[in-house]
Structure 1
């Protein structure tokens, strides 16, 4: 398929993980991609992989919390490729999550920095992209939310709040610019095993999270990228203003599922492991 032939995409946080998978998916279907990431070498490595597959891409090292840097990113996209048709707002302040604690233990600076990147940065990118999309007859935006933005947790207060707000930002954008043929949706991943996450989670914690899913495997960045590519494409021309979960069923079940209900569906050999995991 060449769903993005003739299209120009900006993907933020595209140096690794889900963002990189999205950039590659769009490029493989004919799109020209501006690969933006705060990690310049990672962005360059992503563009090199796209070029090796005969795609077209441009690496830009920038911080989406910086309004001037965001403005320059979209000026560069227009100067190099003529304008922007699709946008993936994937960049997120993941380096702050180890310090993102419960409300009374939370450093307000962590809250402010998280909002500056996750929410304000997404807003800044949308504000720059929308005029270019209007000038090109419309466009599509996907904002990378999270299941954390749809349910409470014992920590990640700032991250969760930023993602919940992103869901409403997406609905607002869809409402305000649908008449200009601009669609906007949010994607909410669950447990997606990126290289960075794999390095952070020990085996016990992976098992603890995994048992809350309905499917017997963890998500991959490519799974999310496939959904993003669909939502950006003309195949999803009548879908806008939605929050689409891609979580292996993590939010679909009753709270007691992981404590006992799921064990009936497990192979007999996993019974001991399930019992041990229930005491995490």
Structure 2
């Protein structure tokens, strides 16, 4: 089904990253006006320049409430309204990924840093977006969570639980603000083939993930971005409070799928 985002002012946090940049490009291609918000302002500006005059860049440190507020001020100064926010930014550095293990070995500082960005920062961004959208009587919030929020894992205890909180936050917003014309949904990517992810992913681990993926390929950033863009559009007007896994089916099958499939399929 075709969908349109013509004229919709859209903030994409983490907009210069792997998935975020795809969201920006695809939403711009469907007519949206884009605010590329990222901690790396140079990359954000380069993408905004690529997208043209209906895109701007702004610095965003999701750990800083002042920085989040400045992002909204910049958006309103330039466009005067806000129709969509895709809360895509998260704490995903390779260094943090190495430290984010199981609960027994979790450093309190790493737990707090993860929640400060992924959960608290997303909450503040949602709160400030709602303050703009509520008087308008319309708006769409799309929060990026993770399929790791659905199941237990050997590692990434802080990241996965912070993203589970984002899913519940999304449901709360959908419930409290639905009658005001505001929708909220969550997208739950699995391992996605961004350049950064592939650069730090050991080949053996990638092969394991690919075996557990039901599709014959590992998804890329555009696979996530198309879902985000659709959920932001008016064509998705009757969809709210939902959490959509976009992970090639890795979160739907029983444990040991790869080994079982070899047994039953020879």
TM interval, shorter chain, is over 0.9
Work out the CA distance in 2 between the residues paired with 1:250 and 1:27. 30
Q: Could you list the runs of 4 or more consecutive aligned residues of structure 1 that deviate by over 2 angstroms after TM superposition?
A: 262-265
Q: 1:230/1:263 Cα in 2 relative to 1: closer, same or farther (>3 Å)?
A: farther
> 1:94 is paired with a residue of what secondary structure?
coil
TM-superposed CA distance for 1:58, in Å, is 0.7
Work out the CA distance in 1 between the residues paired with 2:184 and 2:195. 28
Work out the CA distance in 2 between the residues paired with 1:4 and 1:256. 41
- Report the counterpart of residue 207 of structure 1 in structure 2: 207
TM-superposed CA distance for 1:137, in Å, is 2.4
Residue correspondence of structure 1 range 137-156 to structure 2 within 5 A: 137-156=137-156
Residue 67 in structure 1 maps to residue 68 in structure 2: no
- Report the counterpart of residue 12 of structure 1 in structure 2: 13
- Report the counterpart of residue 242 of structure 1 in structure 2: 242
TM-superposed CA distance for 1:263, in Å, is 6.1
Residue correspondence of structure 1 range 74-89 to structure 2 within 5 A: 74-89=72-87
> 1:211 is paired with a residue of what secondary structure?
helix
- Report the counterpart of residue 276 of structure 1 in structure 2: none
Instruction: Report how many residues are paired.
Output: 263
Work out the CA distance in 2 between the residues paired with 1:192 and 1:126. 24
TM-superposed CA distance for 1:264, in Å, is 5.2
- Report the counterpart of residue 191 of structure 2 in structure 1: 191
Work out the CA distance in 1 between the residues paired with 2:216 and 2:154. 25
Q: 1:257/1:183 Cα in 2 relative to 1: closer, same or farther (>3 Å)?
A: same
Question: 1:2 touches 1:30 (CA, 8 Å); kept in 2?
Answer: no
Work out the CA distance in 1 between the residues paired with 2:166 and 2:198. 25
Residue correspondence of structure 1 range 157-172 to structure 2 within 5 A: 157-172=157-172
Once structures 1 and 2 are overlaid, which stretch shifts more, 252-261 or 21-30? 252-261
- Report the counterpart of residue 108 of structure 1 in structure 2: 108
Residue 46 in structure 1 maps to residue 44 in structure 2: no
TM-superposed CA distance for 1:8, in Å, is 0.2
- Largest Rg, 1 or 2: 1
- Deviation by residue 1:175-231 (Cα, 9 ceiling, x = unmatched): 000011000000001121001001001221110111111111000100000000111
Work out the CA distance in 2 between the residues paired with 1:138 and 1:9. 13
- Report the counterpart of residue 130 of structure 1 in structure 2: 130
Query: What stretches of structure 1 of length at least 5 have no aligned partner?
Result: 266-270, 272-280
Work out the CA distance in 1 between the residues paired with 2:72 and 2:263. 50
Work out the CA distance in 1 between the residues paired with 2:55 and 2:199. 28
Q: CA RMSD in A?
A: 1.4
TM-superposed CA distance for 1:24, in Å, is 1.0
Provide the TM-score with structure 2 as the length reference.
0.95
- Report the counterpart of residue 268 of structure 1 in structure 2: none
TM-superposed CA distance for 1:126, in Å, is 0.6
